[in-house]
Every structure is written in C-alpha cells, then in structure tokens.
Amino acid sequence: SFSLETSADVTLSVYDVKGRLVDTLIKGTLSPNSYNQVWNAENAASGIYFYKLEVNGQEIDTKRMGLVK
C-alpha cells in the first residue's frame, strides 16, 4: 500500500532475486489517494521477490517479499 499527495507518474514492478523484471503492476499517472495493490502470482514460482515503487522516475521504495505456494 502507498499514498500520493499529488498526481504522479507511478511504476510498481516485481523482480526476482536475479534482478529480472517479473511483472509490472502499475504504470501510469495516478491521482492523489491511498492505494493497495495485489500481485496475482499465479504463474510465479515460490521464492523471494522484490517490489520497487517509483514515483515521477525516482525510486521511493524497494522491499523484499516471499512467495509460498
């Protein structure tokens, strides 16, 4: 989840441990609001992944997440 105080170009992407792009969850301009994004990992293998949130081209947050099926 994340919040925007002003409209911004947002990209939310998921990467594997080797740094390969797995999925792009959000790519576009969002209005000021709070957002919750769910990753449909149906086609992904169990393991460690990273998500990266970029706002207006600047990296805001990168965090690790584990997927267990």
- Tell me what percent of the residues of the chain surpass a pLDDT of 70: 100
- What is the average pLDDT across 8-22? 98
Specify the pLDDT at position 42: 95
Q: Sorting pLDDT into bands at 50, 70 and 90, what band is 53?
A: very high
Whole-prediction pTM: 0.91
Extended beta strands in the chain, E state:
2-4, 8-16, 21-30, 33-35, 47-55, 58-67
